[in-house]
């Protein structure tokens, strides 16, 4: 099966044929058009995954043609071929709806990388649309993404418990989607037309929390100048969601127990009993059972809340959902920022897959948002990812390499026969050398940036590079790593320290 179908529109025969040979050798199916007119005809005969379009065609202006195609097919990925790079040109191209561009002459490796990225990005977007459709048919939770067994089991449980009035306790680390699941339970229940009231118990002082939950009568306390309804009354017929339930004080726990048992309460300072019909959902990222054992949470309240519990898996335990979530947030943030669809390069995607995500989906969402906001063209590389995601990778890599350096003990697997094991000094030097080379690779051999990331002066980095005999070099495609602009000459950066 071809890796994707590409239409090349360029008036120069040499370019057309060169691209055809290159792309076909990489497994793509290629069609050629020598004029804009022929290009448009071929598009009709399509479908194509990607169009490579020359900006200066004899019969049409490429930018005008781009706009025209965009109107007909907003989803087709288009890369422009330009003879010279200028920021104005790039801006105009993006504005007209191109995802990326290549400049003549190009590096074959980079061109293949850009093309694969454009096509795979599109596939991922389509896969996401299909997945959402399938999930919608099965569960009707359009904004919950996941196809891992763990997540589907959660959604099954949500579907089952939603129609009842049972209290549900949602467990999960920070950022795993506890509030999202609580909202889904409400949305799938018969209460969906009524209020969903989230209460963040952790962030409200005790006195204030009680008056917020139960309301108060006039004069109940100094500042109570008028009677006020509490959230339980506001949530009547609907759902109330206690976020971080473990943080509420013992007094409030007792009052909450009464509401759950009797479905009634009194306003602060009041004497009338108020009856409500409220479904209670609660979330915690701490193990409530443990808090009960430690005497920090009432056991009777725990049992009342723990009628049904849902455990949300951390993202690191369902890595297969990472690409889908990335695709979902990419779509969302590109729309929100008015940018054409974007995608991550293989290197960036690999970092995203390898990372452990201690902040779970929220952290991933933030990383994607940041990358989209900072990005200047379709293909987003590792330099747009937060430091934490990139640094971890370095440390992990070093750990793997270390195993290879440690002098083996006699008889241990890997003992090197008669060769003397390296000294500690030699090991440290080699590790330092590899870390520096690794960082230079990541910064496209931009020493100023590498020094900044290492938080050391540039001169210190220069000395180390010389001492360790690291050969500085300029890599193909270095220009693309420059944040902010797609073009521009950063040759000056490379002469530093040489």
Ligand X SMILES: Nc1ncnc2c1ncn2[C@@H]1O[C@H](COP(=O)(O)OP(=O)(O)OP(=O)(O)O)[C@@H](O)[C@H]1O
Q: Which is nearer to Mg ion, 170 or 235 (CB)?
A: 170
Angle (deg, nearest 10), helices 360-374 and 322-336? 40
Q: Which is nearer to Mg ion, 243 or 381 (CB)?
A: 243
DSSP labels, 145-178: ---SHHHHHHHHHHHHHTTS---EEEE--TTSSH
Find which of Mg ion, ligand X, none residue 144 binds, CB within 5 to 8 Å per kind. Answer: ligand X
CB of 358 to ligand X, least distance (A): 12
Question: Measuring CA to CA, how many Å separate 399 from each of 123, 393, 413, 438, 450?
Answer: 35, 10, 18, 13, 20
Counted residue by residue, the chain has a size of 498
Q: Which is nearer to Mg ion, 121 or 359 (CB)?
A: 359
Q: Mapping DSSP to helix (H, G, I), strand (E, B) and coil, where does residue 323 land?
A: helix
Q: Which is nearer to ligand X, 81 or 155 (CB)?
A: 155
Q: Which is nearer to ligand X, 337 or 495 (CB)?
A: 337
Residues found near ligand X in the complex (CB under 6 A): 143-146, 172, 174-180, 243, 285, 328, 361-362, 365
CB of 283 to ligand X, least distance (A): 6
CB of 177 to Mg ion, least distance (A): 8
410-448 per-residue burial string, b: 16 or more CB within 10 A, e: under 16:
eeeeeeeeeeeeeeeeebebbeebbbbbbbbebbbbbbb
Continuous segment of H or E residues that includes residue 463: helix 458-467
Find which of Mg ion, ligand X, none residue 115 binds, CB within 5 to 8 Å per kind. Answer: none
Would the CA dihedral through 52, 341, 102, 27 be positive or negative?
A: negative
Q: Which is nearer to Mg ion, 179 or 429 (CB)?
A: 179
Q: Which is nearer to ligand X, 6 or 385 (CB)?
A: 385
d(CA 205, CA 21) in angstroms, rounded, equals 69
Find which of Mg ion, ligand X, none residue 177 binds, CB within 5 to 8 Å per kind. Answer: ligand X
Q: Mapping DSSP to helix (H, G, I), strand (E, B) and coil, where does residue 318 land?
A: coil
d(CA 229, CA 279) in angstroms, rounded, equals 18
Find which of ligand X, Mg ion, none residue 49 binds, CB within 5 to 8 Å per kind. Answer: none
Find which of Mg ion, ligand X, none residue 361 binds, CB within 5 to 8 Å per kind. Answer: ligand X
Strand 168-171 relative to strand 264-266: parallel, antiparallel, unpaired?
unpaired
Tokens representing residue 14 in the block:
């040499």
CB of 148 to ligand X, least distance (A): 10
Find which of Mg ion, ligand X, none residue 285 binds, CB within 5 to 8 Å per kind. Answer: ligand X
Please give the biggest Cα pair distance in the chain: 90
In the bound complex, which residue of the shown chain has the CB atom lying closest to ligand X? Answer: 177
d(CA 239, CA 99) in angstroms, rounded, equals 44
CB of 179 to Mg ion, least distance (A): 4
d(CA 145, CA 295) in angstroms, rounded, equals 37
Q: Mapping DSSP to helix (H, G, I), strand (E, B) and coil, where does residue 146 land?
A: coil
Q: Which is nearer to ligand X, 33 or 361 (CB)?
A: 361
CB of 198 to ligand X, least distance (A): 9
Give the residue among 178, 298, 166, 295 at the shortest CA–CA distance from 242: 178
Q: Which is nearer to ligand X, 96 or 310 (CB)?
A: 310
CB of 452 to Mg ion, least distance (A): 35
Q: Which is nearer to ligand X, 245 or 274 (CB)?
A: 245
CB of 400 to ligand X, least distance (A): 31
Do the beta carbons of residue 305 and residue 282 sit within 8 Å? Answer: yes
In the bound complex, which residue of the shown chain has the CB atom lying closest to Mg ion? Answer: 179
d(CA 188, CA 191) in angstroms, rounded, equals 8
Find which of Mg ion, ligand X, none residue 164 binds, CB within 5 to 8 Å per kind. Answer: none
Residues found near Mg ion in the complex (CB under 5 A): 179, 243
Find which of ligand X, Mg ion, none residue 211 binds, CB within 5 to 8 Å per kind. Answer: none
Q: Which is nearer to Mg ion, 341 or 359 (CB)?
A: 359
Do the beta carbons of residue 90 and residue 63 sit within 8 Å? Answer: no
Find which of Mg ion, ligand X, none residue 369 binds, CB within 5 to 8 Å per kind. Answer: none
Find which of ligand X, Mg ion, none residue 172 binds, CB within 5 to 8 Å per kind. Answer: ligand X
Find which of Mg ion, ligand X, none residue 481 binds, CB within 5 to 8 Å per kind. Answer: none
CB of 325 to Mg ion, least distance (A): 17
State the Cα angle at 291 between 288 and 294, rounded to 5°. 155
> Which residue carries 């454009």 as its tokens?
118
Helical segments of 168-283, H only: 178-187, 206-214, 231-234, 250-262
CB of 176 to ligand X, least distance (A): 5
CB of 247 to Mg ion, least distance (A): 12
């Amino acid at each position: 099966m071809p890796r994707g179908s590409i239409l090349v529109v360029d008036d120069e025969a040499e370019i057309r044929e060169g691209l055809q040979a290159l792309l076909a050798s990489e497994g793509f199916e290629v069609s050629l058009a020598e004029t804009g007119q022929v290009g448009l005809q071929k598009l009709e005969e399509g479908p194509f995954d990607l169009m490579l379009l020359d900006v200066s065609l004899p019969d049409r202006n490429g930018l005008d043609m781009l706009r025209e195609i965009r109107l007909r097919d907003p989803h087709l990925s288009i890369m422009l071929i330009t003879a010279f790079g200028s920021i104005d040109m790039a801006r105009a191209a993006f504005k007209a709806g191109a995802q990326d561009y290549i400049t003549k002459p190009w590096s074959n490796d980079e061109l293949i990388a850009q093309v694969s990225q454009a096509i795979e990005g599109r596939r991922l977007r389509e896969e996401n649309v299909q997945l959402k459709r399938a999930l919608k048919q099965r569960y009707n939770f359009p904004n919950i993404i996941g196809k891992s067994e763990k997540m589907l089991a959660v959604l099954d449980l949500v579907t089952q418990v939603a129609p009842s009035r049972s209290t549900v306790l949602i467990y999960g680390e920070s950022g795993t989607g506890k509030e999202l699941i609580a909202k889904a339970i409400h949305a799938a229940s018969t209460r969906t037309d009524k209020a969903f009231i989230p209460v963040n118990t952790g962030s409200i002082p005790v006195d204030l929390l009680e008056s917020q939950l139960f309301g108060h009568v006039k004069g109940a306390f100094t500042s109570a100048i008028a009677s006020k309804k509490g959230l339980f009354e506001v949530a009547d017929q609907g759902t109330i969601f206690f976020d971080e339930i473990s943080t509420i004080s013992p007094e409030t726990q007792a009052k909450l127990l009464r509401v759950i048992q009797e479905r009634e309460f009194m306003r602060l300072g009041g004497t009338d009993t108020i009856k409500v019909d409220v479904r209670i959902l609660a979330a915690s990222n701490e193990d409530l059972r443990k808090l009960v054992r430690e005497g920090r949470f009432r056991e009777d309240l725990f049992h009342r809340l723990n009628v049904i519990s849902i455990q949300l898996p951390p993202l690191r335990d369902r890595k297969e959902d990472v690409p889908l979530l990335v695709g979902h947030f990419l779509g969302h943030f590109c729309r929100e920022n008015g940018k054409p669809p974007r995608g991550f390069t293989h290197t960036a995607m690999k970092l995203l897959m390898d990372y452990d995500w201690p902040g779970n989906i929220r952290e991933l969402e933030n990383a994607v948002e940041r990358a989209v906001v900072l990005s200047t063209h379709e293909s987003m590389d590792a330099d747009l990812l937060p430091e934490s995601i990139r640094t971890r990778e370095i440390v992990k890599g070093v750990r793997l390499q270390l195993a290879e350096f440690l002098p083996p003990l006699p008889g241990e697997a890997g003992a090197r026969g008669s060769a003397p094991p390296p000294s500690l000094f030699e090991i440290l030097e080699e590790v330092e050398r590899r870390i520096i080379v690794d960082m230079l690779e990541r910064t496209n051999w931009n020493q100023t940036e590498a020094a900044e990331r290492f938080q050391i002066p540039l001169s210190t980095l220069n000395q180390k590079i010389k001492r360790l005999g690291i050969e500085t070099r300029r890599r193909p495609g270095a220009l693309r790593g420059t944040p902010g602009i797609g073009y521009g000459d950063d040759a000056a950066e490379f002469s530093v320290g040489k």
